[in-house]
Amino acid sequence: MKKLSLLFSLLFLLVGCSSEKTEQASAQPSSEGKTQKGKTEVVFWHAMEGDLGKVLNEIVHDFNASQSTIEVKPVFQGTYEEALTKFNAVAGTKDAPTIMQTFEVGTKYMIDSGKIEPVQTFIDQDHYDVSQWEKNIVNYYTVNGTIYSMPFNSSTPVLIYNKDAFKKAGLDPEKPPMTYSELKEAARKLTKNGNYGFSILNYGWFFEQMLAVQGGLYVNEENGRKGEATKAVFNSEEGLRVFKLIQDMYKEGMFYNVGQNWDDMRAAFQSGKIAMYLDSSAGVRTIVDSAPFEVGVSYLPIPDGVERQGVIIGGASLWMIKDADEAQKKAAWEFMKYLTTPEVQAKWHVKTGYFAINPAAYDLPLVKEQWKKYPQLKVTVNQLKETKATPATQGALISVFPQSRQRVVSAMESLYQGVDPKEALDRAVAETNRELEMARKR
């Protein structure tokens, strides 16, 4: 996490070591943007590795085989942070890609960079119907009525729980906790024999989600959607409820401090160390397949007496690079349209667990068959569909989001040392405000 702050603080002037897992050198376009076979070449930088990378490469291969004029070359560039650092080093040169995958908290940075072409340009030129895209996903990447990037791998947080442990504790496995009081009651019964009832990864994204589901804002100016955000406001009543929940459960001994590593968190769940935890919807299928017990999935719990607002989209989107020639940009747009077809999105959803950008995918036989096997996936989709479109659920826009997330992580960790929740939040807000002020001066 320290790397995030350093990367953004230095405006991405450092270039990380090469970690490409595909042919980096041969993937760069020629000066004419053509392959040796005369096809228009689209270089696609992404951060999908492992099984995700395999699925993405399959989709790209299918697109290339579906027509004879465009060749998309996917190039793995490491983590989102590493990829963005490399992009900043080549932006505006012939070595820049045509399409860039960037995580959601990089949205404001990409817009402010002046290096991207909003996909709205091609939506307008093509009279493309964006109503076929999932509205609650598109909302995140829409600023002042302009869709800046194409949503791609999108996820939200969910509560994952051990149904077998519920049964042993005398809890109904079909009635997961929906409120903080229900969460505490279940966690008490599940905490026994050195095992814990609940855990949350020390990661800012989960705090942001628990804030937004209550309708709480992260920064002023309607979460930076109405105007340039100038100060953080997450030390509100909504934010305090989240921090008090964590500290209260930790003090009572039913909350397990799992740290900041996603693999450690999932391993603790699979081993029975924790019976409930928050995870990304994109991790649901893997957990269901690997856990030695029946896994349940439910909505994000909310404080008692609070109206549920919904969740913010996480994941990443695809950005069109401004300095690519017109032929390459048009070719890239054709590829983006292909990615959002129901058939492609159905494959992406069932093989990765990410949402379908085009909800029509959910009606296809492939998805219906998988939902019978993995009914947990449908729960994640329903939670997204029920999300209300508000500045809170649309997500905050600030260029220093990674730094702010690290401040929140530090504040979360201080709760385990007994720091007062309000004091911890106030400090994270003050530090975020300093980052915002530094960004304005830069």
Does residue 307 sit within a domain? yes
Same domain, 284 and 222: yes
Task: Verify that 221 and 99 share a domain, yes or no.
Answer: no
Q: Which domain holds residue 325?
A: 31-155+314-376
11-67 pLDDT tens trace: 433 333 333 333 333 344 444 566 657 899 999 999 999 989 999 999 999 999 999
Rounded to the nearest 5 degrees, what angle is found at the Cα of 341, between the Cα atoms of 62 and 212? 120
Q: What is the mean pLDDT of the chain?
A: 91
2 inside domain: no
13 falls within a domain: no
The arithmetic mean of pLDDT across residues 210-229, rounded, is 97
Q: What is the DSSP string of 392-436?
A: HHH----TTHHHHHHHHHHHHHHHTTT--HHHHHHHHHHHHHHHH
Residue type, 62: D
CA torsion sign, 330 to 335 to 336 to 337?
A: positive
Is 71 inside a domain boundary? yes
Q: Is the domain of 275 the same as that of 397?
A: yes
Domain boundary (376, 398, 415) is at 376
- pLDDT of 162 > 80? The answer is yes
Q: Provide the pLDDT confidence category of residue 442 given band limits of 50, 70 and 90.
A: confident
**Residue 134 token pair:** 């999932």
Q: How far is CA 25 from CA 10, 15, 29, 75, 163, in A?
A: 26, 16, 9, 10, 49
Task: Evaluate if residue 185 carries a pLDDT over 60.
Answer: yes
Is 148 in contact with 397 (CB distance < 8 Å)? no
Contact 216, 239 (CB under 8 A): yes
Point out the domain boundary residue: 327, 354, 376. Answer: 376
pLDDT of 123 above 80? yes
Bridge pairing between strands 70-76 and 99-103:
unpaired
> For the domain that residue 353 is a member of, what is the CATH number?
3.40.190.10
Same domain, 199 and 269: yes
| Number of domains the chain contains | 2
Overall average pLDDT of the 318-331 stretch: 96
The whole-number pLDDT of residue 36 equals 59
Query: Are 189 and 57 found together in one domain?
Result: no
The more confident residue out of 34 and 125 is 125
Question: Are 376 and 288 spatial neighbours (Cβ–Cβ below 8 Å)?
Answer: yes
Rounding to the nearest 10 degrees, give the CA dihedral for residues 100, 101, 104, 107: 0
Q: Are residues 151 and 210 in the same domain?
A: no
Assessment of whether the complete model's pTM goes beyond 0.85: yes
- Give per-residue pLDDT as tens, 229-286: 999 999 999 999 999 999 999 999 999 999 999 999 999 999 999 999 999 999 999 9
pLDDT number for residue 26:
36
Residue 171 and residue 234 share a domain: yes
Percentage of the chain surpassing pLDDT 70? 92
Region 69-87 average pLDDT = 94
Does residue 1 belong to any structural domain of this protein?
A: no
Q: Is the pLDDT of residue 297 over 90?
A: yes
**Is residue 11 one of the residues assigned to a domain?**
no
Co-location of 85 and 101 in the same domain: yes
Residues 188 and 291 in one domain: yes
Kind and range of the H or E run holding 340: none
